[in-house]
Amino acid sequence: MSMHAEVARVEDSSPSEDFLVAYLETLSMVERLHRLLLDVIKDEFERLGIIDINAVQALLLFNIGDNEVTAGELKTRGYYQGSNVSYNLKKLVDCGYMHHQKCAVDRRAVRVRLTDKGQHIRGIVAELFQRHAEGILSKDVTGNVQLADINASLRRMERYWTDQIRYIY
């Protein structure tokens, strides 16, 4: 498209069309950022020679932390965003990163918590995030925009999407 045609398109676009373009860019950026986060974690684990756990599993361990949760709670509390929870939990238990036991109240439910080995992985991810936070701050990556403001906007979008799901049915 020529520069003249692009300028004409922008001049003819409505505020709602401009917003749609920005919204689609935001969606794409959120997806890319999540994939990049997983790549950063993967690279850190490769650098350390840790090969029996993947980035999704490491992030899951980080998010669970000191909590004891059921598999169902992993998604509802936002600890896990993947589609194959049972595979990752089984792998983490088999590799010794998590303990699991039947819930005393509901024998169908399984509660999981980190082992010492899982806590070690959580510590590695926490240190990685600490280094990132210091680097982002020292290099003024976000400029005048505060992360708290970005997070507040993303929380509002999260509420909007949650409402959309809730009211579909």
pLDDT in tens, 39-60: 999 999 999 999 999 999 999 9
Single-letter code of the amino acid located at 83:
S
Q: What is the mean pLDDT of the chain?
A: 88
Query: What domain range is 119 assigned to?
Result: 3-166
Looking at the predicted structure, is the pLDDT value of residue 9 above 80? no
CATH code of the domain containing 140: 1.10.10.10
What's the N-to-C CA distance of the chain in angstroms?
43
- The mean-pLDDT minimum among 3-12, 110-119, 157-166 falls in 3-12
The residue-averaged pLDDT of 21-36 equals 95
How far is CA 117 from its chain centroid?
22
pLDDT in tens, 143-158: 989 999 999 999 999 9
At 79, is the pLDDT very low, low, confident or very high (cuts 50, 70, 90)?
Answer: confident
In total, how many domains does the chain have?
1
Looking at the predicted structure, is the pLDDT value of residue 111 above 50? yes
